Amino acid sequence: MHEYSLADNLIESILPRLASEGVTAPGRVREVVLRLGALEIHSEESFAQAFAMRSAGTPLAGAVLRLEIVPGHIHCDRCDRDEVVGPDDADPHSHAPVMPCPECGTPCRVEGGRGIEPVDLVLED
């Protein structure tokens, strides 16, 4: 599933950083603050679930995810409407997702809402 590979990539990118700070055992990371594109995931819940499963047995086990969701957006040329696109609104598997305009139904290309970026790690004292 998409969420799992995303969680794997995230965990792999964070573990070396933890190791360099001497964090090698579970229980010391309280929170992982993350900037995440809305179009990368189906829902925050399923991503948090994937992260919890994949981080089990690593120093990230038990850490709470704090997500800052970066929304995507569409602009309809026909009725000039702008709409924010969140998780669930567009297919995260598509590389060029399209969403119908809520006003007139014209298919609009979704812009933005991509990327995954660890922002901060909150460690126990």
Q: Applying CB under 5 A, which part among 19-27, 41-49, 53-61, 99-107 lies near Zn ion?
A: 99-107
Q: What is the DSSP string of 31-79?
A: EEEEEEEGGG-S-HHHHHHHHHHHHTTSTTTTPEEEEEEE-EEEE-TTT
Helix (H, G, I), strand (E, B) or coil at 17: helix
Asked whether the beta carbons of 3 and 53 are under 8 A apart, the reply is: no
Q: Is 98 in the site for Zn ion (CB under 5 A)?
A: no
Q: How far is the CB of 100 from Zn ion (least distance, A)?
A: 8
| Angle, alpha carbons 4-37-63 (nearest 5°) | 50
For residue 85, the one-letter residue type is V
Site for Zn ion (CB under 5 A): which residue of 103, 111, 117, 120? Answer: 103
Q: Is 78 in the site for Zn ion (CB under 5 A)?
A: yes
Q: Which is nearer to Zn ion, 11 or 108 (CB)?
A: 108
Q: Is 76 in the site for Zn ion (CB under 5 A)?
A: yes
Q: How far is the CB of 79 from Zn ion (least distance, A)?
A: 4
Q: Which residue in 89, 17, 6 sits closest to 48, CA to CA?
A: 6
Q: Applying CB under 5 A, which part among 7-15, 16-24, 93-101, 112-120 lies near Zn ion?
A: 93-101
Residues forming the site for Zn ion (CB under 5 A):
76, 78-79, 81, 101, 103-104, 106
